[in-house]
Amino acid sequence: MTLLGPSGCGKTTFLKIVGGLISASSGTIQINGRDVAEPQPDFGVVFQQANLMPWRSILKNVLFPMEILRRSDSAATLRAKELLALVGLEGFEQSYPSQLSGGMQQRVALCRALIHKPKLLLMDEPFGALDELTRMEMQDLLLDIRVKTGATVMFVTHSISEAVYISDIVAVFSKRPSVIADYIVVDLPYPRAAEIRYSAEFTDLEHRAGRALGITR
Amino acid sequence: MTFRDVRNTIYPVVGITIVLLGWQLYTHLLGINRIVLPSPLDILSASIANWDVLLRESWPTFLESVLGFALAVAIGIPFAVCVANSRVLNLTFYPILIATQSIPKVAVAPIILVWFGLGMQSKLVIAFLVAFFPIVVDTAAGMRATPAGLLDLARSLRASSIQVFLKVQFPAALPFIFAGAKVAVTLAVIGAVIGEFIGSVGGLGNLLLTANSQLDSPLAWAALIWLSGLGILLFAAVAIAERIVMPWSEIGHH
């Protein structure tokens, strides 16, 4: 599911409330009938910045959540290596973040968010700082990872095509004061590949989201 | 050795050579009295002739500086960590720290000598006092400069405050701590010499003062050079420690 909206509409705030990082001024969030008012260890978070620790090797960065959760063992190390291989970073385990490009760092951040097998992955404009080509690669990678891990993803973006491409559902936020302007069910078939971006259905969905955002008629 | 290594070695050497050559020519050609300004060669020969004295007097100054600095690190870093993480402690102690820092240490030195005597302890205390402030200020700044994203990440995993401190805050503050330590270690040498100037029975500061009073300018200058050598040595030691503790800082930042 993707939260799509203009900057400043509160979609990041909403995501942080879901993640328990800030508390809602009113109302409650329920997930599977459970109130979430504080961070849940079975959530994974990816931010706009990779937020890697420059003093840790790539492998140790990925293992960070396991250390905090006191589940750091050889199985965890093995899984970290598998995840790194999955995102195409095999052989970079002992490198340091400063040796990696922005896209590679964001892939490490993705591995770190997945290391403890979260049921829900919260992603706050994770590809926003990347160039267009890297961004499209990362979107395909995310679709792939969703299939392989079975995690639910809540994704924040202000890119219409990104929202349509990667989602089952797009919730469109309006400008402040924000309301959910549209709730779009994306019924494009899987597996999705870049060609689908040029299909009529895809363009129609983009149009609909654009109308909800008030930028097209 | 790469070209960059060669360049990085040659340029400073060329710079120093130019200064020394100009100095030598100036004193030689204008016939400057060596009591007023000894030539580099005068200083060199005084340094060679008195190497045993210089070495012997370096030892107490070295110890005073290093122990004063070590004490400043041992007390300053935990103090800064407490002050940076507790609003109450910050409000209670930081103003006192700023107030005491604004007192000139040279003015306090005679009082310290009254308390701790003419021996090494008084110099050690003065070295500690001057080294303490930069360590506390930089460590506290480093503690507060932890990237917000890393703190969010730790919080999303419900990390305990001990885990946040050990695994996030402290390593993130290390560059700040070492920046403070580099300033502090050179200040510690100055602190020790101030103490020796006010009153002492040994040390390079004492030797400098004695040589000066006997109009033995070449020896006084030799003591000065050794002092700066001591400062450079201690600075280099901290810089090497930084590289050992933070090997990642060398990567990708040339």
Token digits of residue A109: 């951040």
pLDDT given for residue B223 in this prediction = 93
**Biggest distance spanned by C-alpha atoms of chain B:** 75
B37-55 tens-digit pLDDT:
999 999 999 999 999 999 9
Is residue B254 pLDDT above 50, yes or no?
A: no
Check if the beta carbon of residue B215 is closer than 8 Å to that of residue B40. Answer: no
Check if the beta carbon of residue A100 is closer than 8 Å to that of residue A108. Answer: yes
What is the average pLDDT across B217-245?
93
Closest chain B residue to the Cα of A58, Cα to Cα: B248
pLDDT given for residue B1 in this prediction = 63
Question: B252 pLDDT band (50/70/90 cuts)?
Answer: low
Average pLDDT per block of 10 residues along chain A, 217 residues long: 86 86 83 80 87 93 91 88 88 91 90 89 87 87 86 90 89 84 84 85 87 81
The rounded distance, in Å, linking the Cα atoms of A52 and B210 is 57
The rounded distance, in Å, linking the Cα atoms of B63 and B69 is 10
**Biggest distance spanned by C-alpha atoms of chain A:** 56
Whether A49 and B172 lie within 8 Å, measured CB to CB:
no
Task: Check CB contact of A174 with chain B, cutoff 8 Å.
Answer: no
Residue A80: exposure state from Cβ atoms within 10 A (0-12, 13-18, ≥19) = buried
Token digits of residue A48: 């706009």
Whether B171 and A53 lie within 8 Å, measured CB to CB:
yes
- So where are chain A's domains? 1-42+119-217, 53-117
Whether B251 and A98 lie within 8 Å, measured CB to CB:
yes
Question: B174 pLDDT band (50/70/90 cuts)?
Answer: very high
Q: pTM here?
A: 0.83
pLDDT given for residue B236 in this prediction = 95
Question: B241 pLDDT band (50/70/90 cuts)?
Answer: very high
Phi-psi region for residue A40, left (φ > 0), alpha (ψ -120 to 50) or beta?
beta
The rounded distance, in Å, linking the Cα atoms of A124 and B153 is 12
B181/chain A closest Cα distance in angstroms:
19
Token digits of residue A73: 């063992």
Residues in A closer than 8 angstroms to B158, CB to CB, are 38-39, 41, 68
3 state DSSP class of A40: coil
Task: Check CB contact of A69 with chain B, cutoff 8 Å.
Answer: yes
Question: B63 pLDDT band (50/70/90 cuts)?
Answer: very high
Whether A39 and B158 lie within 8 Å, measured CB to CB:
yes
The tally of CA atoms less than 13 A away on the side-chain side of residue A32 is 4
What is the average pLDDT score of chain B? 90
Residue showing tokens 């259905």:
A201
Whether B157 and A69 lie within 8 Å, measured CB to CB:
yes
Give me the torsion for CA of B101, B104, B110, B115, rounded to 10°: 0
Looking at this predicted complex, what is its ipTM? 0.83
Superfamily of domain B38-250: MetI-like (1.10.3720.10)
Whether B251 and A96 lie within 8 Å, measured CB to CB:
yes
Residues in B closer than 8 angstroms to A49, CB to CB, are 149
Instruction: Give every CB contact of residue A7 below 8 A, 6+ residues apart in sequence.
Output: A158
Q: Alpha-carbon torsion A190, A194, A198, A203, what sign?
A: positive
Check if the beta carbon of residue B194 is closer than 8 Å to that of residue B109. Answer: yes
A2/chain B closest Cα distance in angstroms:
20
CATH of domain A1-42+119-217: 3.40.50.300
pLDDT given for residue A96 in this prediction = 92
Task: Check CB contact of B148 with chain A, cutoff 8 Å.
Answer: no
Selected residue with higher pLDDT from B200 and B50? B50
